[in-house]
Amino acid sequence: MSLSCVYSGALVGVDAVGVEIEVNASDSGNLDIKLVGLPDAAVRESVDRVTTAIKNSGLRWPAKKITINLAPADIKKEGPSYDLPIAIGMASLDQERNGKLTEAALEKCAVVGELALDGRVRPVKGILSLALQAKQAGKRAILVPQENAVEASIVEGIFVYGIASLRDAYDLLTGNGNISPQKLDREEFFNTKRAYPVDFDEVKGQAHAKRALEVAMAGGHNLLMLGSPGTGKSMLAKRLVTILPAMMEEEAIETTKIHSVAGLVDGKHSFLATRPFRSPHHTISDVGLLGGSSNPTPGEVSLAHNGILFLDELPEFRRSTLEVLRQPLEDGHVTISRAAGKFTFPSRFSLVAAMNPCPCGYLGDPSRECRCSPGQIEKYRQRISGPLLDRIDLHIDVPAVNYKELRSESGGESSEVIRERVEEARAIQLERLVVFPGVNCNADMGNRQVSRFCQLDKQSERTLEQAMESLNFSARAHDRILKVARTLADLEGAMEIKEVHVLEAIQYRTLDRNLWA
């Protein structure tokens, strides 16, 4: 055989495209190995790794001019995941010494993996996306690093073989190996991964805050918590994912793909069946939050997809960094343009933020005196722009917990009980919004849906009008109030929005722009 073709894949954003690795041996020219097809530095360096790994695995390649082409040539090839398919392609050219390997065997499978110098196969990023792409390309099997086998086996309809070494991979393809496909009880595996380490019944007191958090998750709304240090803002935020509806399998696969591409999935944490909770530090850069760099990778907004993005100490974030949140909050995805191409990452999440009422943190605290001047307080609060604040549906106060509540044995309802109510409200919304693609909850509603599903009776209309005039709410805040009122009605199973729902929704806007100026 003077030409072989091994199927693999390349990551483009969070998805993958097929790559054919063509290896040709020619008698003309000097003995050399040439790699073409738009490889990056890591791929170009693979030649030295591959040749050493082939020798140390007891395999050989022809003493001829070897040309390796990674097709299609217009897609940049990055990372070390092409080592194993290149090595198999080179070894298949010398079947007299290595063993017979048919073209049919190569046509039926995809191959992915990095090689160590001794021939061991190391794990790679984005294996779930690569397995999905191989299945879409009609491949019957995929050879992946042993540590990636469980992650790849989540994909139904394709045999996954966990490979420990180059020799094992070659023997398997020649029919001399005894490696069995990775077996996975997907339903059992999915259910065992659903447990959360925290629960809402661990939170003492804070009944008002818990109610607001339930409302926020029931409608998919964004939330801002305001309170002095130590009142439990972070503790509440970390438990929000436990009351969100359980992730469906499609959501779990989509979320795992993002984390896999970012290199956050390994043999021990091969699948995300619980909703992600991301809490970046306030020193994070725009690129770290939104995603990017020269070879764009997902940022925190995409890693929080289908979950919670928690920004603690919100005014401490750079204003320019906060402003980049506006697009993903509105669109549910992030588009990044670089020289390498245009990449779109999903980023549909609930934004939860926390902040102190003033720089020292004790404005309005009954037990400690605030030492901040009015100018300092104003400057501190002005770090958050009006447009960003308008996109946060609920603003709530989180006061300190008194001693009796703190020492009580019960923390109230469990996450499971609250989650049941949230799921019921979400089910009502899905049924109502089924005719609007991409609109899955009340927070996603646009002007058209708000006008249709948030009708008010005369008394409710009068109450909202008075609040708009007296509290100086913006037009965007008006729509947010209606959406939250719709969620409150859904939690009660009410068909119509009542005045009590409007009043409670208004209560969650008491920190709006007129108090922040």
| Same structural domain, 177 and 211 | no
Mean pLDDT over 342-350 rounds to 88
Confidence label for 83 from pLDDT (cuts 50, 70 and 90) = very high
| Same structural domain, 138 and 215 | no
pLDDT at 124: 94
Whether 302 maps to a domain, the answer reads yes
Mean pLDDT over 401-407 rounds to 74
Whether 380 maps to a domain, the answer reads yes
Domain hosting residue 223, numbered range: 200-412
pLDDT tens for each residue of 145-174: 999 999 999 899 999 999 999 999 999 999
- Whether residue 178 is predicted with pLDDT greater than 90 in this model: the reply is no
pLDDT tens for each residue of 253-290: 999 999 999 888 876 667 888 999 999 999 999 888 98
- Give the CATH number of the domain where residue 375 resides: 3.40.50.300
Residue at which a domain ends, from 383, 412, 441: 412
Distance CA 501, CA 504 (A): 5
Whether 59 maps to a domain, the answer reads yes
Prediction pTM value: 0.88
Closest CA to 176 of 86, 95, 81: 95
| Same structural domain, 147 and 238 | no
Q: State what percent of residues in the chain have pLDDT above 70.
A: 95
Mean pLDDT over 432-449 rounds to 91
Work out the mean pLDDT of the chain and round it to a whole number. 89
| Same structural domain, 243 and 335 | yes
Distance CA 14, CA 335 (A): 12
Whether 495 maps to a domain, the answer reads no
425-464 burial, b for 16+ CB within 10 Å, e for fewer? bbebbeebbeeeeebbbbbbbeeebbeebbebeeebeebb
Confidence label for 403 from pLDDT (cuts 50, 70 and 90) = low
Distance CA 262, CA 259 (A): 5
> What is the tally of structural domains in the chain?
2
Handedness of CA 138, 148, 191, 242 (dihedral sign): negative
The kind and range of the H/E element at 229 are: none
Confidence label for 49 from pLDDT (cuts 50, 70 and 90) = very high
| Same structural domain, 259 and 365 | yes
- Give the CATH number of the domain where residue 130 resides: 3.30.230.10
Whether 194 maps to a domain, the answer reads no
- Whether residue 514 is predicted with pLDDT greater than 70 in this model: the reply is no
| Same structural domain, 246 and 363 | yes
Mean pLDDT over 391-411 rounds to 80
Instruction: Give helix 475-492 / helix 499-507 axis angle, nearest 10°.
Output: 120
Whether 298 maps to a domain, the answer reads yes
Omega cis (within 30) before 72: yes
pLDDT at 267: 66
- Whether residue 179 is predicted with pLDDT greater than 70 in this model: the reply is yes
Mean pLDDT over 366-391 rounds to 86
Residue at which a domain ends, from 374, 393, 412: 412
Confidence label for 517 from pLDDT (cuts 50, 70 and 90) = very low
| Same structural domain, 55 and 169 | yes
- Whether residue 400 is predicted with pLDDT greater than 50 in this model: the reply is yes
Whether 55 maps to a domain, the answer reads yes
pLDDT at 340: 61
| Same structural domain, 275 and 305 | yes
Residue at which a domain ends, from 152, 184, 216: 184
| Same structural domain, 111 and 138 | yes
| Same structural domain, 127 and 230 | no
480-490 burial, b for 16+ CB within 10 Å, e for fewer? bbbbbbbbbbb
pLDDT tens for each residue of 457-479: 999 999 999 988 888 887 778 88
Mean pLDDT over 162-190 rounds to 88
pLDDT, greater one: 386 or 115: 115
Which residues sit opposite 355 in a β-bridge?
226
pLDDT tens for each residue of 8-44: 999 988 899 999 999 999 887 677 899 999 888 888 8
| Same structural domain, 382 and 236 | yes
Whether 334 maps to a domain, the answer reads yes
Amino acid at 219: G
Beta-carbon neighbour count of residue 475 at 10 Å? 9
| Same structural domain, 221 and 169 | no
Confidence label for 511 from pLDDT (cuts 50, 70 and 90) = low
* 242: DSSP letter: G
Q: State what percent of residues in the chain have pLDDT above 90.
A: 56
